[in-house]
Structure 1
Amino acid sequence: MNPENGKKTYESIEIPEKLNEMVEQTIASKNKEELRMHFEKENETKKSVSHRPVWRGCVAAAAAVLVAGTVGLNASPAFAEEMSKVPVIGQLAQVLTFRSFQGTEGDVELNVNVPVVRGADGKELPAKVNAQIQQITANYEAQAKEDMAEYKKAFFETGGTEEEWAGRTMDLYIDYDVKYFEDDILSLEVTTARGWVFADEERSYYNIDLKNDKALTLEDLLGQDYVSICNKSIVEQINERIAKDENVSFFGYGKNTDEIGSIGGFETVDANTSFYLNADGEVVISFPEYSIAPGYMGIQEFVIAKP
């Protein structure tokens, strides 16, 4: 969107009749954001509108309406459908909440928001992505409940009492974040996490060219030499982080250069390496917990400068 057209676009927006009601209901519900803050250590405001660059050209007055729209899109499918008819916000409504649930099932506290990607008629990839996301999140939820049931059984079999068990729950979290959406390029992050006797978090990424109905690859974005470009940048960033902070640790680097410490250390990216596009359209490589660094380091991300 051209900046000079932002004011005209804003002034032409017809606000849905139930906008205020939906926004008030969404803002009143804090459970989702509180759980997100618990699991996302790196950025407590990760769900902010700065992750939606499609709005960069809008004037300040329009931004207030768009902020309200963003909150609603991620909270209510009905609201998202309504807002899909509104200029500017309509593009974001291509990512809707498929299933949203907050509540308790047995000993599991659930906070679930599963996305669905809408594509143009005749496009096949969005349907495949949706099926994969639904399968991943369903499996994660089922496995979490099974693990909690086994843990509870073992707890009582080893002498635990009802009094000692009281208050023990698993916090299960499934949510998504639109990392980038511009010019029909969508970069979507799906997070699954749980906290009980230990905490873990996993992130899956979907980078889609909606117009051409194809999944984007690192080679598409960085060229044929993407492996060497990424490897060089990641190694440099690892060494920089170690040099700046003595508490930073990576397998096979710095103090962990011995044989044991190098097991599992970063070596190279490949076609299966996870990545997403950030708000500036830059490639961000993402490594799961424990994959290239100790667990306390969490998920490790590296921004790769465009060649």
Structure 2
Amino acid sequence: MNPDYGKKTYESIPIPEKLNEMVAQTIASQNKEDIRMSYENTKTTYKTTSRPVWKGCMAAAAAFLVAGTVGLNTSPAFAEELHKIPVIGTLAQVLTFRSFEGTVGDVELDVTVPVVKGADGKELPAKVNAQIQQLTTTYEAQAKAELAEYKEAFFATGGTEAEWADRTMSLFIDYDVKHFEDDILSLQVTTAKSWVAAEEAYHFYNIDLEKDAELTLADVLGEDYIEICNASIVDQINERLAADENAAFFGYGDDEGMMDGFETVTEDTSFYLNADGDVVISFPEYSIAPGSMGIQEFVILP
């Protein structure tokens, strides 16, 4: 099996007209009243989330920013401390663009959406932001539509209000700065929902901020990245099978010859850089192993 994990086609994604303006407002705001967005015209509970921008060398200071749709909710003393933190080179800032926690109808939401603020004149961060906004907005809309369709079918087939009372969907969106050093950013956005069944997915954005370009496997591992990754992944699959009798991978171990499994990485394979700067290949649920194995990740050491 050769899963297509979807190339991050930044160039094809239009940037919303007011996205840059909204990002600028979020960064500039020093009072929670400066920016306030409604969420589906409901009474909501907002949370302000802290997001440190990680740097590999602890001695090197990094930008640390607290933000959300309600704006920066910080004390004057804390705001003053933020201004003292140096910004190194073309270091970008990763902010919380929208943060919401509450219940809307039958959906329990825990949503934290990031935005990347790059150096002036850099185009790629804006395109990444547009893609993240598109991803998260579509994910929420599809989840709600899916639940509404299921609810309609539930009552159409004789379900009662009492039986439906405890049926809610939990929807989760969050992000994590996996690596930020020497103007290289690896950002992970997680989407997950749970109701009839649980599902989780990782979405990665790897940016060379200095070159204003998407970072590729070839950039990090060289022209032989396919051979390097394939050999390492096969070795690690076999190690995991040997170490855990409950482990399973399509096409390996007891499943060998029965169905297609992992064969090769491609330029579209999802990856990120970890805190040590190592490449981590990430395979979605069900792509190379049964759902019970979850998302499978492999650290590649050349």
Same fold (TM over 0.5): yes
Q: Which amino acid aligns with 1:297?
A: M
Q: Is residue 2:81 matched to residue 1:78?
A: no
Compute the displacement of 1:171 (Å): 0.4
Q: 2:68 and 2:138 mapped to 1: Cα distance?
A: 22
Q: Out of 55, 58, 61, which is 1:56 matched to?
A: 58
Conserved? CA contact 1:32–1:111, under 8 Å: no
Specify the alignment match of 1:95 in structure 2.
Answer: 94
Counterpart secondary structure, 1:255: helix
Conserved? CA contact 1:250–1:292, under 8 Å: yes
Q: Is residue 2:103 matched to residue 1:104?
A: yes
Q: 2:84 and 2:241 mapped to 1: Cα distance?
A: 48
Q: Which amino acid aligns with 1:86?
A: K
Larger RCO (CA under 8 A, 6+ residues apart): 2
Q: 2:66 and 2:155 mapped to 1: Cα distance?
A: 43
Kindly report which structure 2 residues correspond to 1:7-86, keeping only aligned pairs within 5 A, or say none: 52-54=54-56, 56-57=58-59, 72=66, 77-78=71-72, 82=79, 85-86=83-84
Q: Out of 252, 276, 280, which is 1:280 matched to?
A: 276
Distance 1:32 1:84, change over 3 A: closer
Conserved? CA contact 1:286–1:302, under 8 Å: yes
Specify the alignment match of 2:227 in structure 1.
Answer: 228
Q: 1:94 and 1:220 mapped to 2: Cα distance?
A: 23
Conserved? CA contact 2:216–2:267, under 8 Å: yes
Counterpart secondary structure, 2:113: strand
Specify the alignment match of 2:300 in structure 1.
Answer: 304
Deviations 1:249-297 (A, max 9, x none): 00000001133xx23x110000000000000000000000000000000
Distance 1:290 1:116, change over 3 A: same
Conserved? CA contact 2:101–2:111, under 8 Å: yes
Counterpart secondary structure, 1:120: coil
Q: Equivalent pairs: percent with the same residue?
A: 62
Distance 1:73 1:242, change over 3 A: farther
Q: Which amino acid aligns with 1:290?
A: Y
Q: Which amino acid aligns with 2:205?
A: Y
Please identify which structure carries the higher helix content.
1
Conserved? CA contact 2:51–2:65, under 8 Å: no
Q: Which amino acid aligns with 1:184?
A: D
Conserved? CA contact 1:180–1:186, under 8 Å: yes
Quote the RMSD (CA, aligned, Å). 3.1
Distance 1:71 1:212, change over 3 A: closer
Structure 2: tracts of 5 or more residues without a match: 1-29, 32-44
Specify the alignment match of 1:10 in structure 2.
Answer: none
TM-score for both structures, normalised by structure 2: 0.76
Deviations 1:25-70 (A, max 9, x none): xxxx9x999xxxxxxxxxxxxx997x93345227xxx9xxx9xx96
The farther-off stretch of 229-238 and 87-96 is: 87-96
Kindly report which structure 2 residues correspond to 1:1-307, keeping only aligned pairs within 5 A, or say none: 52-54=54-56, 56-57=58-59, 72=66, 77-78=71-72, 82=79, 85-88=83-86, 94-259=93-258, 262-263=259-260, 265-305=261-301, 307=302
TM-score for both structures, normalised by structure 1: 0.75
Q: 1:272 and 1:110 mapped to 2: Cα distance?
A: 30
Distance 1:202 1:223, change over 3 A: same
Compute the displacement of 1:189 (Å): 0.1
Structure 1: tracts of 5 or more residues without a match: 1-16, 19-28, 34-46
Q: Which amino acid aligns with 2:157?
A: T
Distance 1:243 1:70, change over 3 A: farther
Counterpart secondary structure, 1:78: coil
Conserved? CA contact 1:278–1:284, under 8 Å: yes
Q: 2:67 and 2:236 mapped to 1: Cα distance?
A: 36
Q: 1:104 and 1:280 mapped to 2: Cα distance?
A: 38
Distance 1:92 1:85, change over 3 A: farther
Compute the displacement of 1:105 (Å): 1.0
